[in-house]
Chains A and B, each alone.
Chain A
Amino acid sequence: MSVDGASLTLVLGAALTLFGLRTRYRAWASLLGLAVVALALGVSVFDGESHAGPDAVVDGTIFVWMGAVLRRALAGVVLVVLALPMSRAFARPGPGERWWLAGLLLGGLPGIALTGSSMLILDTMKRLLDDASRPSEQRILELEQALGRSDLLLGAAAALAALGGAWLAWREATKPAPAREPST
């Protein structure tokens, strides 16, 4: 498996984002990082459609899909790494403020779900490749079950991110302006 363009873009985007998060443009940098992750993940749709041949479970094209799954795992790691600095960009750390919540909902949990589900799929694929004696139908069924479990995990993370992110945005938008010091 070689490092493909999407994975390279992902790593470069993550490095650029980490640099940007240290500047005053950290809100833009956090969005850039998430956009790069979303782009890298979006490529997996095309991987599933165009590269996986009809005999993907039994012939060599399974490696292409494994590459896509590895890229997902990498995207999950990037999200976890970006979670904490991104959180500081989304909300100002302060006493009594749960400023880390945005990073947890939009970076930490989706990242763990992505990497965890990818490891689950890769483990199943490795088992299928190691044991070639099983009939093809059974192998497809096992892979289907692994992908189903992975999708359940990702669906839960997506729902949590959607609800949590929307709630945080609403809370931020309706936050009263800080009281100004009376001018003398």
Chain B
Amino acid sequence: MSSPSLRRALVLLVATLLVVSGLVSVVLGDQAYLEHLRSR
């Protein structure tokens, strides 16, 4: 396993985590907003 390959794999993994956490936080924000609407 070459070192540049491992480094690129780590970068890809961190990038994946960032993108997924961003998208999940949007869904959570929607849910929080819906909770407010439902609690009226």
**Residues of A near any B CB (own CB < 8 A):** 27, 30-31, 34-35, 37-38, 40-42, 44-49, 52-57, 65, 68, 72, 75, 79, 86, 89-91, 102, 106-107, 110, 113-114, 136, 140, 143-144, 147, 150-151, 154-155, 157-158, 161-162, 164-166, 168-170, 172-175, 177-178
Inter-chain contact B36/A72, CB cutoff 8 Å: no
In the bound complex, residues from chain A placing their C-beta under 8 Å from that of B33 are: 47-48, 52, 56, 65, 147
Bound complex: CA A166 to CA B33 (Å): 31
Inter-chain contact A34/B2, CB cutoff 8 Å: no
In the bound complex, residues from chain B placing their C-beta under 8 Å from that of A35 are: 18
Inter-chain contact A30/B15, CB cutoff 8 Å: yes
Least Cβ–Cβ distance between A161 and chain B, in angstroms: 5
Chain B 15-30 residues near chain A, CB threshold 8 A = 15-16, 18-30
Inter-chain contact B30/A147, CB cutoff 8 Å: yes
Contact count band on B: 35 or more
Interface of B, helix, strand, loop or mixed by DSSP: helix
Inter-chain contact B12/A68, CB cutoff 8 Å: no
- Minimum CB distance partner of A41 in chain B: B22
Inter-chain contact A42/B25, CB cutoff 8 Å: yes
In the bound complex, residues from chain A placing their C-beta under 8 Å from that of B38 are: 140
A44-B26, A144-B37, A175-B2 are known contacts; what are 11 more A-B pairs with Cβ within 8 Å? A30-B11, A38-B21, A40-B22, A49-B32, A52-B32, A52-B33, A72-B26, A91-B8, A106-B15, A107-B19, A150-B30
Bound complex: CA A110 to CA B22 (Å): 10
* Contact A177 B1, CB 8 Å, known A54-B36, A68-B29: yes
- Minimum CB distance partner of B33 in chain A: A48
Least Cβ–Cβ distance between B29 and chain A, in angstroms: 4
Inter-chain contact B16/A161, CB cutoff 8 Å: yes
